[in-house]
Chain A
């Protein structure tokens, strides 16, 4: 570096980082022809890391893609100006691993069960795939589009309980037998959850698997336990005319197989408009839940008491999805004004509108957010899916532009029609499942061969 010839154009640069690999804060003269690779080598050599770590470089909040000279020419920055370059561990460029075709749109995908993918589709079916893209189960749990699914964590890895929310005003609990010996029929809908009078928008389960939350367009959030009742807790709804008789006859036929009608243990009422998403808090006891809705609020719930303990009010931002950051202190909410905003959940709710900590601007409506599971190294990263069919990987330390982006279902639809929308993303174990208009795609994103550094969290 020091041997850079004098004829070469150099640029004064100061390096900053939030990673556990800081460089001394001094001014470096960097040749303008350098790219990310050379910079990354510089950092590695300067720190004499035992194993090379690729770094990504942010120049004034933008990821450096070409040479420094190109960046300066584009921005009109003079040679003399000192640039502050922030760097962080780079992630591998996303790679498409597999594609799981669906007949209909996929409204929700879950990668939470190791080795399997769960998808919910607008045809009312819940499908289970394994990593070899083999379709294991197709459970026609609902007669209407399924809007969301969630895996209820359980101890037994072979038998998984899946909660699904649907437009048919119910959520259902389905047990799927994943043991290799089980045949394709080993999936059974155990209970239907009856509370809502409008289509359900989301379902979530807590970490211990004891409770489920459902949210609906009618502004209600239902809290349910996961026990399967022996008998119907809610009487069958009165439908008109002879339909009742017929249904009763059918019900008598397979009373054992028929899902039990289940009532909620609590109803959380505070939203004034459609609740679009509800999630449990990160704390182990799952005493808190967070929800967002079309009334431009993010609400914090005390689940046990069923009261709203905090409200973050944004100005005309109907929220579509919410996800908690890994430490659980901030919430990321996607709204229809094409931003994903980060809100500090610990902030007081005194002011009328709460300012967001960070805002990630999208070119299209962001429909879904996924945050990697706690414990993974990429604590500042998140993945968003948008209606333009592009899944973006963000680093919260650089909010100006996405770190990486990939387009699912290349090609899109016809010329006149828009791109295939991404409706759901899920991120676990380095895999991002993308569900949407074109089915499901699985991409391998980051979080791979990362070496944990001693002393770092």
Chain B
């Protein structure tokens, strides 16, 4: 109470001082208009406050006066205030001559016996109101900027326009500033539409604002502290409450004692070690996270995310989400496990109509189960359908014809058949087995026409590719026999005889060759015995391969051991060993179909020589451990190499020394590979008893890779002693395959 009174008093004082400084010549309603018109509104508001405040004092004093005047009876109760008012009035009395208020008389109150000021009655006419004096216009307290663009500044009480008072031009203003020393402290008042000098208080406020001070002049930032409850004369002597102080304030706590005693007992019984050796000090202060081996375990999986609600979960879903009657029935009929969603969308007009969610507990439980028991499968980021990685291959049925079934089967008395060859016209097959039997038979009927029996096993048979002669070579022991098949037309028979046993023998080579050529004269020749025989240097095994050059004059033979590779020229009866020394054992040789190139396959490498220039062209590295078979594409640009380690390598000779493709599809070692001379086919045979047929289309365009499509696995040969199909040959002009196996069978596979 005291403080409030004090504060009131001080504020009154402040207002009084303000009033003191107000010059009486100025009207009470002070307004400021400084700066630009934009800010006018704010300033108006601010000025409104000012405007309100000044008359408030007046009003207060008025009402006070009124109170005193009206309620004479109640004045007694307020005697205390009156005392203070007296002080105030003393202050005010100094300025009475300046004040516009009517002068008061001091009288002695007959009730209290105290002096009392009495003011004359206020006549309620116009003169009495100071605010009504000489207001230049009466447009009212309106935002003046409404009329900025108009010639008038508002309307008077009669609804007439109040015109904007004339203002001097710029020159007048300038002259006025020059002449009038006070002009720079004046500001334009929009209400009165004229310049008004600022009051000293306003100037002081402006100065304070400029100096970043509190604009209130009476504000004292260093007021002395008032110690309200402990200060002098303000101490609190009486207690706030009359209740006696409780016992617990001075009696020690029983519960604390019990807790402490529990600990003490535990210490005594040794359950708690009071001075436990501090492990923290023994352990290293910082954990060396980099010293440990990084764990190989997969990173802990994040918990499965709950599905976010969609439109169907809404309490007011769109119509299309609401189930139809059939869907609802179907949903109800299906098992809860099989349901697509575990609720039915329902529509409510308002959220407050939505009942409690019946599935809540169950769903929460399931979610907990998910978190706890969910199979934490690491999701692979790359979701690639493995099917899409398989190259798009044309269907085999669109690549007909190719061999499909076994048409014929020719027995060889259960001896292994290692050698097979098909005549260039595609009508006859000659096969040789390990018992030394060479059979000649028809491809289509399989009837054996002629049989030759030799002493030792047949290493290779090869039909001469020439069409003007008909003969084939058989490799047995150290010999190569040349045989003319029976039933030949006379011109071909004569040509064959002349090719092998000409009447005039070519001159013997100047240097003696280890290869001896012996022939039967054409007159005594028949198809029963070889017409020409070559005696090679002795070797434990028969030559394992015979290869004719495409022109049918040169024949290359490959033998085991040092005898190695021989190239025999039939027309000149000359044999030569093209390689003095070859690194590794030569497995196979092959003539290039169009160029004077010669392929030599050792165990691991295929070397390509130019026979005309006698240079090594390139060395192909198939990457197989042991090359078993090799064939060159009829175009001469591609080579396939089969290995005993189940691999088949396709070389693009133009492309690289490395295989273009490595195919590994046979379960056992490859034994033979062969390109078809005309059809885009090749086949491979293996010790697993199967023959696999491939489509191999080669493009002339160097940019297009060869297309290799697996077509057919031909099974039928039985594996005997771990050996399967030894040799494969295609029938020229037909997509037929002739295969010879270790089970003594020769099969013809037809399309």
**A residues in contact with B735, CB < 8 Å:** 316
Chain B's interface size range is 35 or more
**A residues in contact with B400, CB < 8 Å:** 315-316
* Nearest CB on B from A108, distance (A): 12
4 tightest A-B CB contacts, nearest first: A241-B523, A316-B401, A418-B409, A237-B490
On whether the beta carbons of A217 and B401 are closer than 8 Å, the reply is no
On whether the beta carbons of A240 and B522 are closer than 8 Å, the reply is yes
**B residues in contact with A387, CB < 8 Å:** 407-408
On whether the beta carbons of B408 and A168 are closer than 8 Å, the reply is no
A274-B427 Cα distance, complex, nearest whole Å? 9
On whether the beta carbons of A336 and B407 are closer than 8 Å, the reply is yes
On whether the beta carbons of A414 and B750 are closer than 8 Å, the reply is no
On whether the beta carbons of B447 and A416 are closer than 8 Å, the reply is no
A29-B249 Cα distance, complex, nearest whole Å? 114
On whether the beta carbons of A122 and B407 are closer than 8 Å, the reply is no
On whether the beta carbons of B523 and A240 are closer than 8 Å, the reply is yes
Q: Name which residue of chain B comes closest to A242, CB basis.
A: B523
On whether the beta carbons of A239 and B486 are closer than 8 Å, the reply is no
From residue 196 to 211 of chain A, which have CB atoms closer than 8 A to chain B?
A: 197-199
On whether the beta carbons of B743 and A416 are closer than 8 Å, the reply is yes
Known contacts A294-B734, A365-B407: A199-B445 contact under CB 8 Å? no
B459 on the interface (CB 8 Å rule)?
Answer: no
On whether the beta carbons of B446 and A421 are closer than 8 Å, the reply is yes
Binding site for A on B (CB under 8 A): 400-401, 404-409, 411, 414, 425, 427, 444-447, 449, 486-487, 489-494, 497, 521-523, 718, 733-736, 743-745, 750-751
Known contacts A414-B411, A416-B743, A417-B411: A365-B489 contact under CB 8 Å? no
Q: Name which residue of chain A comes closest to B522, CB basis.
A: A240
A294-B492 Cα distance, complex, nearest whole Å? 23
**A residues in contact with B445, CB < 8 Å:** 107, 367, 421, 423
Could you give 29 example pairs across A and B, Cβ below 8 Å? Answer: A107-B445, A145-B449, A167-B487, A169-B487, A197-B489, A198-B425, A198-B427, A199-B427, A217-B427, A237-B489, A238-B490, A239-B494, A240-B494, A241-B522, A241-B523, A243-B523, A274-B427, A315-B400, A320-B444, A336-B407, A336-B736, A337-B401, A337-B751, A365-B750, A367-B445, A413-B411, A416-B743, A416-B744, A423-B445
**A residues in contact with B736, CB < 8 Å:** 336
Q: Is the interface of A mostly helix, strand, loop or mixed?
A: loop
Identify which of B414, B427, B492 contacts A416 (C-beta below 8 A). Answer: B414
* Nearest CB on B from A409, distance (A): 16
From residue 105 to 153 of chain A, which have CB atoms closer than 8 A to chain B?
A: 105, 107, 122, 144-145
**B residues in contact with A243, CB < 8 Å:** 523
Question: B405, B407, B491, B744 — which one has the most chain A CB atoms within 10 A of its CB?
Answer: B407
**A residues in contact with B718, CB < 8 Å:** 416
Number of interface residues of A (CB under 8 A): 40
Identify which of A145, A273, A364 contacts B407 (C-beta below 8 A). Answer: A364
**B residues in contact with A241, CB < 8 Å:** 521-523
Known contacts A414-B411, A416-B414, A417-B409: A105-B447 contact under CB 8 Å? yes
User: How does the 8 Å CB contact mask read for A244-284 relative to B, with 1 for contact and 0 for none?
Assistant: 00000000000000000000000000000110000000000
* Nearest CB on A from B458, distance (A): 20
Supply 19 further A-B pairs (C-beta < 8 A) apart from A197-B492, A241-B522: A167-B449, A168-B487, A169-B487, A197-B489, A238-B490, A239-B493, A240-B522, A240-B523, A316-B751, A337-B401, A337-B750, A365-B408, A387-B408, A416-B414, A416-B743, A416-B745, A417-B411, A418-B408, A421-B445
A433 on the interface (CB 8 Å rule)?
Answer: no
**A residues in contact with B407, CB < 8 Å:** 336, 364-365, 387
A435 on the interface (CB 8 Å rule)?
Answer: no
**A residues in contact with B744, CB < 8 Å:** 416
Identify which of A145, A239, A242 contacts B447 (C-beta below 8 A). Answer: A145
Known contacts A167-B487, A416-B745, A421-B446: A318-B427 contact under CB 8 Å? no
Q: Name which residue of chain A comes closest to B444, CB basis.
A: A320
* Nearest CB on B from A243, distance (A): 7
**B residues in contact with A413, CB < 8 Å:** 411
On whether the beta carbons of B487 and A318 are closer than 8 Å, the reply is no
On whether the beta carbons of A198 and B733 are closer than 8 Å, the reply is no
Question: B425, B718, B745, B750 — which one has the most chain A CB atoms within 10 A of its CB?
Answer: B750
Q: Name which residue of chain A comes closest to B488, CB basis.
A: A169
A416-B400 Cα distance, complex, nearest whole Å? 30
Identify which of B446, B494, B733 contacts A238 (C-beta below 8 A). Answer: B494
User: How does the 8 Å CB contact mask read for A405-416 relative to B, with 1 for contact and 0 for none?
Assistant: 000000001101
